[in-house]
């Protein structure tokens, strides 16, 4: 598939976040500039931004951290703040944070006054390689993951890897899962390079080209199918199960990192790929082994299968009440729009989750 560009319009690696951000903001010619942080990014990442000196007339709002706060209440806080400070369609929002914040902030910008500009400054590995690029924005609603949202590209995405130095291991691993997914769906060489990467050392210089390759893969797939009618569904490999895992965790008020849910989901969807598409059992076993070595034991039990399948019935890719799952023909080659019977899903889940 397709050439992978060295340069990606709207996404750039930043070596100087302040000068690059100043440049990105100036291009928009915004009348007012708003910065959105969560509690963690305000503490650890905001000090790297010279907001007071470079953007003295800007406004800043701090949201609660955590996926459970990607909700209507926090969205309303952003809208209310925009209203209070006189934001308009010519204003700009700069989202400084992980996937939760870029999703929610992007949606707030898209919907206020029928749309204002926004820039994403991802601060986690997950946001850098996945959440902040590709144009998906939204919130969780009704106990379901990303139930309300819109697709609209950010004006700019600035990837500044020094932010990763303050990232804890679980959040680092969470982002790494989306990179593993990129290799599995489209680049077997990337998969190999990733499973050889030492997560204990976390050498950023070695990680940087792997980050960029992951972004390239997402960019090309999104460019082919921006509205997710076909090929873009490749990016959902692992996610049909993952969103069910996350929805159940939200219901139980338990925390589950998105990347961990995706990693577990890839185990189940690989097993289904063996049955439906002829993925080799050896490759499926390798995926299961890699996931287990990084993300540990899958934290769900057989008595939760019915609840998980019920969440899958609400997946946005479904049609005619059929569960639609992205699968692998082999490592590095995906196939979208695989409709799977619930009894097959249940059988695979029982096999993997058996005590």
Distances (CA, A) of 256 to 110, 259, 353: 28, 9, 18
pTM of the entire predicted model:
0.93
In a domain, 74, yes or no: yes
240 and 319 co-located in one domain: yes
196 and 304 co-located in one domain: yes
CATH code of 346's domain:
1.20.1090.10
195 and 333 co-located in one domain: yes
Question: Chain-wide mean pLDDT for the chain?
Answer: 94
Rounded mean pLDDT, 40-64: 91
173 and 149 co-located in one domain: no
- pLDDT exceeds 60 at position 122: yes
Rounded mean pLDDT, 155-166: 94
Q: What residue numbers bound the domain in which 276 lies? A: 169-353
- pLDDT tens string 193-248: 999 999 999 999 999 999 999 999 999 999 999 888 899 999 999 999 999 999 99
Choosing from 166, 200, 224, the residue where a domain stops is 166
Choosing from 117, 143, 166, the residue where a domain stops is 166
181 and 265 co-located in one domain: yes
105 and 218 co-located in one domain: no
273 and 297 co-located in one domain: yes
The structural domain count of the chain equals 2
Choosing from 166, 197, 229, the residue where a domain stops is 166
Alpha-carbon span 305 to 313, nearest angstrom = 13
In a domain, 1, yes or no: no
285 and 333 co-located in one domain: yes
**Percentage above 70 pLDDT, the chain:** 98
133 and 220 co-located in one domain: no
User: pLDDT-derived band of residue 10, with 50, 70 and 90 as boundaries?
Assistant: confident
Alpha-carbon span 179 to 209, nearest angstrom = 11
In a domain, 2, yes or no: no
- pLDDT exceeds 60 at position 1: no
82 and 206 co-located in one domain: no
211 and 284 co-located in one domain: yes
User: pLDDT-derived band of residue 311, with 50, 70 and 90 as boundaries?
Assistant: very high
93 and 41 co-located in one domain: yes
CATH code of 21's domain:
3.40.50.1970
């Amino acid at each position: 598939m397709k050439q992978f560009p060295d340069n990606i319009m709207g996404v750039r690696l930043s070596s100087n976040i302040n000068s690059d951000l100043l440049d990105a903001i100036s291009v928009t010619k915004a009348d007012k500039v708003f910065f959105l942080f969560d509690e963690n990014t305000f503490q650890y990442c905001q000090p790297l931004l010279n907001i007071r000196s470079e953007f003295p007339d800007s406004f800043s709002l701090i949201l609660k951290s955590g996926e459970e706060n990607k909700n209507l209440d926090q969205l309303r806080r952003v809208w209310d703040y925009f209203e209070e400070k006189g934001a308009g369609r010519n204003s700009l929002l700069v989202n400084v944070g992980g996937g939760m914040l870029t999703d929610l902030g992007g949606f707030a910008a898209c919907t206020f006054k029928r749309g204002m500009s926004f820039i994403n400054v991802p601060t986690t590995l997950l946001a850098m390689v996945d959440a902040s690029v590709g144009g998906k924005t939204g919130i969780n609603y009704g106990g379901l993951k990303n139930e309300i949202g819109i697709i609209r590209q950010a004006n700019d995405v600035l990837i500044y890897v020094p932010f990763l130095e303050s990232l804890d291991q679980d959040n680092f691993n969470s982002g790494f899962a989306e990179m593993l997914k990129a290799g599995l769906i489209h680049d077997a060489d990337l998969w190999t390079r990733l499973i050889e990467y030492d997560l204990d050392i976390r050498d950023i210089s070695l990680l940087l080209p792997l980050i960029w390759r992951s972004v390239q893969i997402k960019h090309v797939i999104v460019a082919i199918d921006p509205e997710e009618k076909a090929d873009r569904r490749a990016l959902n490999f692992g996610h049909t199960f993952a969103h069910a895992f996350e929805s159940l965790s939200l219901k139980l008020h338990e925390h589950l990192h998105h990347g961990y849910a995706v990693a577990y989901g890839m185990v189940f969807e690989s097993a289904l790929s063996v049955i439906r598409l002829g993925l080799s059992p050896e490759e499926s076993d390798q995926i299961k082994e890699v996931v287990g070595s990084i993300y540990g034991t899958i934290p769900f039990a057989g008595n939760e299968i019915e609840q998980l399948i019920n969440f899958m019935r609400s997946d946005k890719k479904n049609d005619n009440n059929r569960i639609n799952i992205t699968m692998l023909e082999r490592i590095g080659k995906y196939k979208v729009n695989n409709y799977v019977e619930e009894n097959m899903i249940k059988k695979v889940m029982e096999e993997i989750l058996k005590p």
